[in-house]
Amino acid sequence: MRDGTPFGRYRLLELISNSASGDIWRAFDTVTQREVALKILPTQYTAGAAAARDASYPAYGPQSGSVVEYVVDYPLTRPGDPAGDPSAPNPPGPKRSRRGRWIALLGAAIVLVVAAVAAAIVVPRYFQHGASPRASSTAAPATTLANTGPFTGTFRVSMGPRLMGNGTPSTADGSEAYSETWQLRSVCTTTGCVATASSGGWYPVTDLVFDNVGQRWLAVSTSRKSCGDRDDESWNAILLEPQPDGTLSGESTQATTGGCFSRRTATFTRTGDTDIAQLPDPAGLAPRKVSPAEALRGRYDAEITYASRYTPRVQHYGVRTDCLRAGDRCMSFFLAPDGSEEAYVFANGAWTLNEEYEMTCSTGGSYRGAFSATVTLPQPPQDPITSLTGHGYDDVTHAVGATCHGQAYDEKFTRTGD
């Protein structure tokens, strides 16, 4: 090749050196409008590098042509350099030729380039003295991922004041209404729609996953929460339904294994786009599994029969079962209008209850009872479950003016409606 020969985006200006391993040229980059050093490797080097590359990285990508070009972006002149700045004073000592200066500057860089080709590793295309490597001017500019999906963006999340199970306002600390900003990223695939979410810090869980279940968005998570004098596992559920005005609204609940329950209204209002690259890709999540425990839902009458044959009044409950995405654990929380409740955790084919109550003894006085019970899935499976029978034990731990004593009991749940 001769001086002035075009070479792709470069114009060859001066041959600096040549050898069996390749030629080094001073060249002009027509895209960046600056001079650069260009090493052109012969065909045998290209073939050897490709063979080493393909042996370990099949998906590395094809080379184009039989000649590989490597560019060392080392400017010919720098501010204050006598070789390129006529106004700069000449340094003492003999002057070096421009050709000799290029060979000295490029020596170490060319060794690195050739070694990199032999090892078939990625080498940054540009190196700049005294600074971090910069992106090639021909590279595509970074793009922001599009905010696609039905539940994607930045949302203002408004939670109403906390209410107790019987509907009365909670007086506990942190029960006031609040608003915070959440980020969400969603996608719909053949297995359904799912969204990853990052909450604003007030909600008890930072990272959540919403699934679209029956045209509503559901997120179920667990955390820790005080319930009386117990440190309980809390089951947190948000259930949202799209509204005509574009918002999503519904309810946020907390139900603990010790029997504490509260609810808030929840409204999600989209305020703009979000940087979805900062959120986990929901497309990579495993599909939500439906648990057989979800068949326990609706309204039920519960009747207890003690070993002593004592039978308290029938309790009228509503129950909703919230399951983790894996379907292996669920909370079925029975709640009566007066706030009475029973908290059953489902795992390994059965529900278990472990709670403590202040009870009134049928013969007078009061006592504290520690209740434990187990309820198994009906066989064959039912959907919805129409009847359940459980067995438990009421352990009297402290009695005041009461003659009641611990005893076993049976409990039957009979479904009465949705």
Fold of 292-417: Lipocalin (2.40.128)
CA distance 390 to 375: 4
pLDDT value for 27: 77
CATH label, 6-119, candidates 3.30.200, 3.30.43, 1.20.1270, 3.80.10: 3.30.200
| C-alpha torsion sign, points 307, 309, 312, 313 | positive
At 212-241, the pLDDT tens digits run: 999 999 999 999 999 988 999 999 999 999
Residues forming CATH 2.40.128 domain(s) in the chain: 292-417
Residue 20: pLDDT band with limits 50, 70, 90: low
At 109-119, the pLDDT tens digits run: 333 233 333 33
Residue 211: pLDDT band with limits 50, 70, 90: very high
Share of the chain above pLDDT 90, in %: 56
pLDDT value for 66: 33
Residue 325 has pLDDT above 90, yes or no: yes
Residues forming CATH 3.30.200 domain(s) in the chain: 6-119
- What one-character-per-residue DSSP string does 84-150 give? T-TTSPPPSSPPPPHHHHHHHHHHHHHHHHHHHHHHT----S---TTS-----TTSPPP-PPP--ST
At 258-283, the pLDDT tens digits run: 999 999 999 999 999 999 999 999 99
- How high is the mean pLDDT of the chain? 78
At 156-193, the pLDDT tens digits run: 999 999 999 999 999 999 999 999 999 999 999 999 99
> In this predicted model, which residue has the larger pLDDT, 342 or 101?
342
CA distance 320 to 263: 13
At 110-149, the pLDDT tens digits run: 332 333 333 332 323 222 333 333 334 444 444 578 999 9
At 391-410, the pLDDT tens digits run: 999 998 877 877 788 899 99
Q: What is the mean pLDDT of residues 76-92?
A: 38
Share of the chain above pLDDT 70, in %: 70
- Burial (CB count within 10 angstroms: exposed 0-12, middle 13-18, buried 19+), residue 277: exposed
pLDDT value for 369: 83
How many of the other CB atoms lie within 10 Å of CB of 416?
Answer: 13
